[in-house]
Chains A and B, each alone.
Chain A
């Protein structure tokens, strides 16, 4: 079967600067990483590959520097990488991003399954996966943390709904968004890095897409208006327990209870 995993390059640090004039993130090209949820998406796709013969392609939308996460995806076990890049895509909100990716996927070919991380750690909207499914016209399942069975025409997945698990079967083609799970993503292989050192990633630019209506892409295709962006207030206050050793446990219990952890 054919699987497409959508991944994104995000800032490696949570201490990100925001441009006060444009309200956008100031991206430091040297300090980036693959979105952590996407690592779980890749892991899940590769688990499916182990269960049923598959071809797993990674797709990312971003500047040329984002090629490094496609390499990483291949070193982890993906078969190929696609970079969706064009100046015309810049400034896209979730709608324009999801639409652009849907066009990119249509360019890449037919897929039985599209896998996305639940959300990215920079935008944090968790909407791209669902909107992508909408634009592709396929069903989707969110919060997936385990694949239970891969059948001929469908997949059985477990969704982590925080307090309960839901088991769902969904027919191909479909899209799933993946939650972080106990299955720690596999590590990139040095051997694969050597094996694929001459591998050229595919580049998909605006002109290659089926829909070349510019009003659907980038800032022009983005209905979202960001009013203001700001760093969250950090609260790193420390609570020191009193010196009465025998009351540590009670004090700790009271604090946890007060903050509704127990």
Chain B
């Protein structure tokens, strides 16, 4: 049992902070009770905008002694309720820890505080000729949040996920100790990788206070091809063949005309091409124009000659990239605004199974008579599937949702996939993860959790609990 926050706790903790960074009770804005999942709401007793590892350490020491639960959050853009303070207690918001500390051009690293937003990292490194490869859709998420969920994004096909781009972390442990996991090194065989335990642990093991990111020279040339197909089956069936052809693609995205129309409505901006039912969007990079041309022409030839594509439209200039990728980036919000309520499934399946899995979601759509739009990173097997409530009553929707989810996760597991590709487990997907991983693996996770956090005060009730 946790200690209920009392006036004495508020008095002590508030004495450590400037009043403009400390909120308690009714003064806490509603936004800090939830994330983008929306349906899981719980107000913390205390909200603190922390500004340093030392501040966090002082809070953790107090909370650990008094057994007060602590939840960390950044921008609150998570989709699984991961930063909701289920047990009340303290929420530490890292959004004010938003300094870019160091660009190390000799070691090709960027050291940042956890509250730096993803788009700020891109702006900073790209204006200096560098590149941070992970490309999750939500650019206003904090890097701390990205690391906590091991966010992926569209360029994962070529560059992997956030995990592959973190070389070091400074963290505050639940007991208040400040530790450094990993260094600015390329190799590391020095014992267990504690850094990698923190990545993807969704704020349950420690609080990230500094991150050393790996960067690389910015690719000189990029271009996308928007490839239309007559039917969604043809588009989906093309994906594994494009992967197999090893065309050196940075991203392979699948979406349908219906989703394009929703994004047009949402953005009030027309998409440059929507005459076909389904599309694959491919991205290429090159060190020079000739290399780029060779890569994209090979892909276009394959798509048109062998995979029945209608054409391959060239997305080359900044304006064209903007018109296509802005729409792609708005798909989630566009689907959200098209219905009263929705829930999402972020499964990842082996790439060879992508087309079969997408087809399966259409079968579910028919079977349960509910709208299930989807789009996703077809190239890395990570799909974003949305179950829209539309005209169903809340009760009816919940019943159908449960059945649809059960079938979807069962199918994902059956074909060798996993519950979450990049959004994390948080609160919303716990049951499905437990079902998949089984007692032994969950016990291992809880054992690790206990070593880091003996009093279970850090983000309790999440992920494996």
Contacts and interface: CB of A to CB of B under 8 A. Distances in A.
B272 A186 contact: yes
Interface in A66-105: 75
B317 A186 contact: no
B300 interface: yes
B49 interface: yes
A189 B272 CA distance: 12
B315 A39 contact: no
Given A36-B319, A191-B304, A246-B29, A186 B273 contact: yes
A183 B311 CA distance: 21
Contacts of B294: none
Contact of B270 (A39, A75, A182, A187): A182
Contact of B225 (A33, A190, A243): A190
Q: Chain B contact residues (Cβ within 8 angstroms of A): what range?
A: 20 to 34
B312 A191 contact: yes
Given A36-B319, A75-B314, A182-B268, A187 B226 contact: yes
Contacts of A185: 272
B58 interface: no
Contacts of B268: 182
A21 interface: no
Given A36-B319, A243-B20, A184 B313 contact: no
A210 to B, nearest CB: 36
Contacts of B20: 243-244
A229 B270 CA distance: 36
The range of chain A's interface size is 20 to 34
Nearest to B312: A190
A223 interface: no
A187 B314 contact: yes
B313 A190 contact: yes
Contact of B313 (A36, A39, A187, A245): A187
B311 A190 contact: yes
Given A182-B269, A182-B270, A189 B314 contact: yes
Interface in A43-80: 75
Contacts of A190: 225, 297, 300, 304, 311-314
Nearest to A43: B272
B311 A243 contact: no
A38 to B, nearest CB: 12
Nearest to A187: B313
A139 interface: no
Interface string A207-238: 00000000000000000000000000000000
Interface string B255-299: 000000000000011111100000000000000000000000100
B284 to A, nearest CB: 12
Contacts, number: 54
A182 B20 CA distance: 44
A188 interface: yes
A12 interface: yes
A184 B317 contact: no
Nearest to B319: A36
A65 to B, nearest CB: 14
Contact of A245 (B29, B297, B324): B29
Contacts of A191: 304, 311-312
A67 to B, nearest CB: 16
B237 to A, nearest CB: 20
A243 B21 contact: yes
B320 interface: yes
B248 interface: no
Interface in B202-246: 225-226
Contacts of B312: 189-191
Contacts of B318: 12
Contacts of A36: 319
Interface string B37-79: 0000000000001000000000000000000000000000000
Interface string B116-135: 00000000000000000000
B180 interface: no
Given A190-B304, A243-B49, A184 B311 contact: no
B441 to A, nearest CB: 40
Given A243-B20, A244-B20, A245-B29, A188 B270 contact: no
Given A184-B271, A190-B225, A39 B311 contact: no
Given A190-B311, A191-B304, A243-B49, A33 B271 contact: no
5 contacts: A186-B313, A187-B314, A191-B312, A193-B314, A243-B49
Interface of B: 20-21, 29, 49, 96, 225-226, 268-273, 297, 300, 304, 311-320, 323-324
Interface of A: 12, 33, 36, 39, 75, 182-191, 193, 243-246
The 7 closest A-B pairs by CB, nearest first: A187-B313, A190-B312, A190-B300, A184-B272, A191-B311, A188-B314, A184-B270
Given A12-B317, A33-B317, A246-B29, 6 more contacts: A187-B324, A188-B314, A189-B314, A243-B21, A243-B49, A245-B29
